[in-house]
Structure 1
Amino acid sequence: MRVNNEQSVALETASTAFVLGLFDTGLSIVRSLARAGIEVVGFGPDPREIGFKSRFCRAIGSPHPVEEPRRFLELLLTEAEKRRTPPILFPSGDPTFWFTSRYREELAERFLFIVPPPPAAEAGLNKRVQYEMASRAGIACPDTYYPASRDELADIVGEIECPAMVKPYFSHLWQMRIPGSKGRVAGTPEEILASFDEAERAGLQVMIQSLIPGPNTAIVVLSAYIGRNGKPLALFTHRKVRQWDPTIGSATLVRSERIPGLVETGLSLLEAIGYRGQCAVEFKQDARDGTLKLIEINPRFVQQNYLATRCGVNFPLIQYMDLTGQEPQPRTSFDEGVKWLDAIPDAMAFFYHHQRGELTFPAWLMSLRGSRAFPKFAWDDPLPFVYAYTWKGKLLKGPLWLWSHRRHPDSGVA
């Protein structure tokens, strides 16, 4: 037993945390729990997952949770039998969230965990269900089309405002079958049709969605943990500063910030769908009228999770306490102006904007001030960072690597 300064109560740490997935998000969960004195075991199917190098967990190679779910289940049950108290499950991505929801009855015999009821769990994974539920709840969404066939799409493609995104119903299936992207941005009707054909060949259901006008800084995120009692036990908001790639890429620099209306809008959506557990609700403020429009619900921790921990809202620890009956105090206040930085992709974003006269080198350096949270680097846990950026000599070849990747994939401009 130890004292948890954040919660100002005695913290019981008898239960082991099982973190499912050990890429950046999983690593942030591992560190947030282990630094509170909790034993952590991590599971991942890919030995390149950087959490395998962390000193804060014992990492175990595992079957893939989607491709071999029964074998993954058997491994978890075997590991659970070695412990005197039920381990706590922490899914770190869509595949492990799907697995935990799909096998909730079998897992409940040996583990403590929280996933939303099946309809809300489906909404967390299926983007079409998300938008339909959000619309019924009065939440603004971008214009979205759901063609059932290429012929149906061909009949309406001329009506779709471009640029538009060809977006999968299930993000984790797209990333498994078409790695390296979240979808396709199409600038013309012909490109929409070509991207639809690509998805159809991969056996993926997709929607066509108009892009919301406005800069990347208009993208804001509410992270929330809705406890077993149905009440919010932790809330945190942040704003995107930059991303790579610039159109539909992942965040490279974000800032903690209280954003007017975001908490109220996000919680009204979560309440409408009956959500429980950890999630992040992403919106973009439409430049035309200032309306917050839903981008997506992520039914899990996000890559920037450690920023919340750094700002005083330790989501994994609060979830651990809730599931072990320790009644954590709600945390809705946090430090503002703290930044999370993914340095190498952010340098690539700088090259892109600098070449277009949108960002000077001094301004870029100034924008990095206040960076206190990082996806890979930590002074007390350096090996994940070293491994990530020395794999195949990436760090040693840093300048050449950045220069060779300076071209935006869709721009054709060096």
Structure 2
Amino acid sequence: MNEKRAPVVILAAGSNITTLALARCFRGTGIPVLCVDLDGGANLLRSARSIQETFSIGTLTSSSNRFLNRFLDLADRLKRDWGQRLLLFPTEDTGLRFCVDQFDEFKKRFVVLGDTEERDVAKFFDKGRFFSMLSGEVAVCPWTRFFDSKDMLFQSADEIPFPVVVKPARKDIHLTFQKRFGAKLALAESFSALQRIFEDWLPTDGVVLQELLSHKEGDEVCWCGYRSREGRITGMTVRELRKYPRIGGTATFVRSEEIPRLHEYASQILNSMDFWGICELEFLPKQGAYKILECNARPWLQIGLALEAGLNVPLLAYSDIDGVDYNLPAGKPKENIYWMSPEYDALRCLFGDKKRRLFANLLEWRRDLRRADDIGLWDLKEPRLVAARLSSYPGKLWKHRSLFRAR
């Protein structure tokens, strides 16, 4: 490593909540943070003091080949300037799929977290592959099947335990599935309903069917953390107090809470796949066990909560590569730390209740906002950033209203 600390590179996508929290994780370390804007959020990112430089080279979704060529040119320049591959953090599914689709090119230019030998990160991205790799000895899974043709679907018709949840087999980075069905997942209560969804979605990457696990608000829990290349695992557990829509939605209010069994499950899963990097595993308690629902093999949305609780996983990853001890805090992460996304939780107040209990929702929102230890996107020490974010709220509230209606 050079005497001057090599920078980290963040692929900035989506709401930028994760990007800004990632950047805060490197404050005071002397490690520069560089951002590559994937979808037009560069102006907001340039308002953040934790980000040294933001590169705006087009939009990934509008001109992918042109964007890729520009991105690889930038990556080559950074590698020449620093004489080494830089650590790359993709945010949200857009950044992760970009890494997966261009993995062979990326690993020449960056250190890409995922497979310990940097051979194949797709197995953590493709839901069909991920669940097929988990045996009953490693994790308790809901009934799960992958289908990519009508023949496969008809052959297994008698095995399907309706009602079932239908998910796109690969991460839906362009929200195609979400726009078509109004949510991140669809519900099929009969074979005819499933057939209609299947025909409307194909030909694509296929679908994953899972048994519907009914639950009440606050049941869903997550393990979040880091596994080093040598197999050391450091993590924390959280409870998603609110999620909109409740099934398959986005967590908007989260609390850190110690759940010992999740650490055991996470260790078994990550060790069995030889995973290296940052990840979030989502679980739901059912029949005396925790059934795994999802794997996000990247920095998760509420990573600012981990930092507030005393767990700096991005710096753990950097230290793993750099070999330098950055005086990372020891001991268990703090419990009862609250995180809120004001933007998406406000959507609940406006659109999330069929009975339109707006006044009651606003009172609850105000109370929870006051007790949140970490607030997505907000840092009152950076007035430019707060002002830039607030100015974008009215348009975003209207744009996303349909995604947060009660279901």
User: What interval of TM-score do these two structures reach, taking the shorter chain for normalisation?
Assistant: 0.7 to 0.9
Cα distance change on mapping 1:383 and 1:35 into 2, 3 Å:
farther
Cα distance change on mapping 1:295 and 1:78 into 2, 3 Å:
same
Give the whole-Å Cα distance in 2 for the aligned partners of 1:38 and 1:390. 30
Cα distance change on mapping 1:408 and 1:154 into 2, 3 Å:
farther
Give the whole-Å Cα distance in 2 for the aligned partners of 1:251 and 1:124. 21
Contact 2:319 2:325 in 1 (8 A): yes
CA shift for structure 1 position 124? 0.8
CA shift for structure 1 position 13? 5.9
Cα distance change on mapping 1:330 and 1:406 into 2, 3 Å:
same
Contact 1:33 1:40 in 2 (8 A): yes
Give the whole-Å Cα distance in 1 for the aligned partners of 2:4 and 2:281. 30
Q: State the TM-score, normalizing by the size of structure 2.
A: 0.83
Aligned pair 1:62/2:65, yes or no? no
CA shift for structure 1 position 366? 4.3
Give the whole-Å Cα distance in 2 for the aligned partners of 1:71 and 1:405. 34
Aligned pair 1:280/2:271, yes or no? no
Aligned pair 1:25/2:25, yes or no? no
Mapping for residues 4-403 of structure 1, pairs under 5 Å: 14-22=5-13, 23-48=16-41, 50-57=44-51, 58-62=53-57, 67-68=64-65, 69-83=68-82, 86-100=85-99, 107=106, 110-116=109-115, 117=117, 121-154=121-154, 156-157=156-157, 160-173=160-173, 175=175, 179=179, 181-201=183-203, 203-232=204-233, 234-286=234-286, 289-327=287-325, 331=330, 333-350=332-349, 352-353=352-353, 355=355, 360-361=360-361, 365-391=366-392, 393-394=394-395
2:50 counterpart letter in structure 1: F
Contact 1:348 1:406 in 2 (8 A): no
Contact 1:246 1:349 in 2 (8 A): no
2:216 counterpart letter in structure 1: P
Give the whole-Å Cα distance in 1 for the aligned partners of 2:252 and 2:172. 20
Q: Which of 234-243 and 69-78 deviates more?
A: 69-78
Q: Which of 277-286 and 159-168 deviates more?
A: 159-168
Number of matched residues? 391
Cα distance change on mapping 1:250 and 1:370 into 2, 3 Å:
same
Give the whole-Å Cα distance in 2 for the aligned partners of 1:145 and 1:296. 14
Give the whole-Å Cα distance in 1 for the aligned partners of 2:28 and 2:260. 32
Cα distance change on mapping 1:235 and 1:198 into 2, 3 Å:
same
Contact 1:337 1:370 in 2 (8 A): no
Give the whole-Å Cα distance in 2 for the aligned partners of 1:150 and 1:107. 35
Give the whole-Å Cα distance in 1 for the aligned partners of 2:255 and 2:404. 24
Contact 2:228 2:277 in 1 (8 A): yes
Contact 1:239 1:257 in 2 (8 A): yes
Cα distance change on mapping 1:72 and 1:183 into 2, 3 Å:
farther
CA shift for structure 1 position 284? 0.9
Cα distance change on mapping 1:35 and 1:113 into 2, 3 Å:
farther
Give the whole-Å Cα distance in 2 for the aligned partners of 1:162 and 1:367. 37
1:55 counterpart letter in structure 2: R
3-state secondary structure, aligned to 1:20:
strand
Task: Write out per-residue CA displacement over residues 32-90 of structure 1, whole angstroms, 9 at most, x where no aligned residue.
Answer: 22354421110022223643442322110135668334542222112332336653322
Q: Which runs of 5 or more residues in structure 2 are unaligned?
A: none
Give the whole-Å Cα distance in 1 for the aligned partners of 2:85 and 2:120. 25
Give the whole-Å Cα distance in 1 for the aligned partners of 2:260 and 2:393. 45
Give the whole-Å Cα distance in 1 for the aligned partners of 2:192 and 2:18. 36
Q: Which of 172-181 and 147-156 deviates more?
A: 172-181
Task: Write out per-residue CA displacement over residues 170-198 of structure 1, whole angstroms, 9 at most, x where no aligned residue.
Answer: 11456367557423233444432222122
Cα distance change on mapping 1:174 and 1:113 into 2, 3 Å:
closer
1:291 counterpart letter in structure 2: A
Give the whole-Å Cα distance in 2 for the aligned partners of 1:254 and 1:164. 27
Q: State the TM-score, normalizing by the size of structure 1.
A: 0.82
Q: Percent identity?
A: 24
1:21 counterpart letter in structure 2: A
Give the whole-Å Cα distance in 1 for the aligned partners of 2:135 and 2:190. 27
Contact 2:5 2:30 in 1 (8 A): no
**What do you get for the CA RMSD once the two structures are aligned?**
3.4
Give the whole-Å Cα distance in 2 for the aligned partners of 1:406 and 1:178. 10
2:312 counterpart letter in structure 1: N
Q: Which runs of 5 or more residues in structure 1 are unaligned?
A: 1-11
